[in-house]
Chains A and B, each alone.
Chain A
């Protein structure tokens, strides 16, 4: 057997679709029970790594799928995801990058509640906020006013933070839907502070105005005026955002 044929034969088992029995027969014709058993072991190891790829970063999403549907549904979800998005990254967690998008768009997940895709997006952003590469300009107070490189703002249709931060004993089976809110949902602000701690919280209206002003390159007070917000409170919000590293420069 050539090396190329060896990999062609064993690959489908290691990637999940083929079972050990079929693979053992394809490799050896009449394999021993021991070989089949040990091939099954390798198949199991590879499967565990695929699970580990998603169950670390997306621990809450995993739990939500299991509670809402079943562990078997989660297993199937993983198989379909990795078939669609081959794990090419040598950094294990990096292979989960497209999981939130997959949950949001794939026809294979139409049976799952929509908030589960939002939860996966939130968990991915938490992870990215924690480990995204350092950007030297984050440490420099000079230069134009800007947002820190780890700052991200998402608006979800469900009150995910309220749900995640609830006592697990009292947590409802699903987060509250909040699409009627003024902003069209529940905003969540993510950032990493100067001490390299990850934060995610619901931003106040004043905070959102500051973020918008920075993004648009407009004076904060002018935007606050236009939106009818108290200028002093908006100034205080900007000062606090500078302290915690969300807004940088421009002074």
Chain B
């Protein structure tokens, strides 16, 4: 299938509101422009879950956003996952798929967690080699997301922004800029989030994530709970202004998921904030 256009604001396909999202799909035209699906949570299933998933990709354009690629790991790349995502992209017309600049398996075991890599040249080269193989196998462009890190891993020789830019440029990948992750990392490590945004290669940014986070006593966790915070919206406006275009934006609300209408309020807010960033009070 020819790749579809992805633009505007999207939401993740989450089971608590998926049925309602599909029932209201016609009325949400121009409001929810696209969806993001976590393939690990859908592709293996048949039955009612499969039917829901098929209806969703029929109703909305969108992209897969996986969590198990382990692009920075040293375990063999999982061909079953890559093939399944490639087949989905082809059938759905997804113009790209995304995963995280991290590792999520070790010693052959899936950890189902996005884990930080050492920020150094060896890892950049390693990621670039694996990304090339993934893109060749899948046939669809891979986009890498900046992940949160709660500890800088030993062996690091550069800061996170240099590592991220080095990785996506060496791998010749698109960038999924998670603005909430930028903010959370700045809180945990005392870095300057605006400077980080300013260093991003905006021509490579194909997609943006915004989400909520949770403050604990000694650490801020990227929980995807709750509404997007005001500092994250400020960073979002900065990113959009730097890009000079309405980068496709996804609202991530993945735990303690509220009624769909509450998520849609965040969708509307993203559209307004993007408009403000682009110097227009009108909806972009």
Residues of A within 8 A of B (CB): 1-4, 6-7, 10-11, 14-15, 27-28, 34-35, 37-39, 41-42, 45-46, 49, 52-53, 82, 86-92, 94-95, 130-135, 192, 196-198
Contacts and interface: CB of A to CB of B under 8 A. Distances in A.
B172 to A, nearest CB: 21
* Top 8 A-B residue pairs of the complex, sorted by shortest distance between their CB atoms: A38-B151, A90-B68, A134-B46, A49-B112, A133-B46, A196-B48, A11-B106, A131-B45
A90 B151 contact: no
B159 interface: no
Contacts of B20: none
B48 A6 contact: no
B74 A86 contact: no
A2 B157 CA distance: 12
A69 to B, nearest CB: 26
Contacts of B126: 3
Nearest to A134: B46
B68 A41 contact: no
Contacts of B109: 15, 82, 86-88
Nearest to B153: A6
Given A1-B118, A6-B118, A6-B155, A11 B45 contact: no
Nearest to B69: A90
Interface string B217-246: 011000000000000000000000000000
Given A15-B106, A197-B48, A92 B112 contact: yes
Contacts of A49: 111-113
B69 to A, nearest CB: 9
B78 A11 contact: no
Nearest to A28: B154
A37 B109 CA distance: 23
A132 B218 CA distance: 43
B15 interface: no
Contact of A90 (B78, B113, B150): B78
A135 B153 CA distance: 46
B74 A4 contact: yes
Contact of B113 (A11, A42, A95): A42
A38 B149 CA distance: 9
B108 to A, nearest CB: 6
Contact of A3 (B49, B80, B122): B122
A95 B47 contact: no
B154 A92 contact: no
B24 interface: no
B111 A7 contact: no
B257 interface: no
Contacts of A89: 110
B47 A7 contact: no
B113 A46 contact: yes
B73 interface: yes
Contacts of A198: 47
Contacts of B111: 14-15, 46, 49
Q: Tell which of B40, B106, B111, B112 has the most Cβ of chain A within 10 Å.
A: B112
Nearest to B156: A1
B101 to A, nearest CB: 14
